[in-house]
């Protein structure tokens, strides 16, 4: 059986991984928000198909980040013994 200090270290490590994964999700959201804001603030150039393709790629990256975050949460549940 693991000692109390080992359990604490393990759980804190899991929480650090969750935090890192969540920062990745946040970064992807902010990236998409900046792109949309830039597109909306254009004065003369109308958003084009290429702009939408970039947003679709950002959405795919966000989906991957969210999937990774969900996976980390599942790992955390197992690590916490629930």
Looking at the domain assignment, is residue 35 inside a domain? yes
Looking at the domain assignment, is residue 38 inside a domain? yes
- Tally the C-alpha atoms within 13 A of residue 26's C-alpha that lie toward its C-beta: 6
Domain ranges, residue 16: 8-79
Looking at the domain assignment, is residue 1 inside a domain? no
Q: Kindly report the CA angle at 37 between 51 and 41, in degrees rounded to 5?
A: 90
Burial (CB < 10 A; 0-12, 13-18, 19+), residue 21, is buried
Looking at the domain assignment, is residue 2 inside a domain? no
Residue-wise pLDDT for 43-82, tens only, equals 888 889 999 999 999 999 999 999 999 999 998 888 787 6
Q: Is the pTM of this model over 0.85?
A: no
**Cα–Cα distance for residue pair 52/78, rounded to 1 Å:** 39
**Cα–Cα distance for residue pair 20/34, rounded to 1 Å:** 21
Q: How many domains does the chain have?
A: 1
């Amino acid at each position: 059986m693991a000692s109390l200090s080992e359990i604490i270290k393990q759980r804190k490590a899991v929480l650090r991984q969750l935090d890192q994964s969540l920062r990745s999700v946040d970064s992807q959201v902010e990236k998409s928000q900046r792109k949309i804001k830039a597109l909306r603030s254009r004065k003369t150039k109308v958003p084009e198909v290429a702009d939408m393709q970039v947003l679709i790629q950002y959405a795919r990256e966000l989906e991957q980040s969210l999937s990774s975050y969900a996976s980390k949460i599942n790992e955390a549940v197992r690590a916490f013994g629930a």
